[in-house]
Amino acid sequence: MSVNNEKVNLYETDFNLWVEETLTLLRKGDISELDIDNLIEEIEDMGNSRKDALESNLIRVLQHLLKWKYQPQKRTNSWKASITEHSLRLNKALKKSPSLKSYFEEVFAECYHDARLIASQETGIDIFVFPEICPFSKVDVLNPQYLPDN
């Protein structure tokens, strides 16, 4: 079996060991021994994971902001905590990776539409009660202390 096939096999059979060996090779500068194809795939996945997390946190903030605004009689500290938590997560993600700000801008409307659907299903409120265009500014969504009025 060739060295490259052994690396691919290790990637498939013991991912953690593959990561440790890849780090060792990178630190030594031994580029010729690297499993380049899987390394590229993992780096791509890392970027996608950060984007997925940003979308997930954004949807959750928007979902709970909608519930807070349109179900004032059912407001809970749990909703408030969720808004705060996911807004803080968004801020941390944008601080760690400022380049995600443009992605945040790009997916904001799409995430709002997802949050609108989820909030409708969760609350039983007709989806058309929630505005088609997000009633919350991006600045408000990133403010962990923001709570909309009725």
Render pLDDT for 40-62 as a digit per residue (tens, 0 to 9).
999 988 878 999 999 999 999 99
DSSP-assigned states of every residue in the chain:
--HHHHHHHHHHH-HHHHHHHHHHHHHHT-GGGS-HHHHHHHHHHHHHHHHHHHHHHHHHHHHHHHHHHH-GGG--HHHHHHHHHHHHHHHHHHHH-TTHHHHHHHHHHHHHHHHHHHHHHHH---GGGS-SS-SS-HHHHT-TT-----
* Residues of the chain falling short of pLDDT 50: 1-2
pLDDT of residue 120: 98
Cβ atoms of residues 67 and 81 within 8 Å? no
pLDDT of residue 6: 64
Cβ atoms of residues 130 and 70 within 8 Å? yes
pLDDT of residue 1: 43
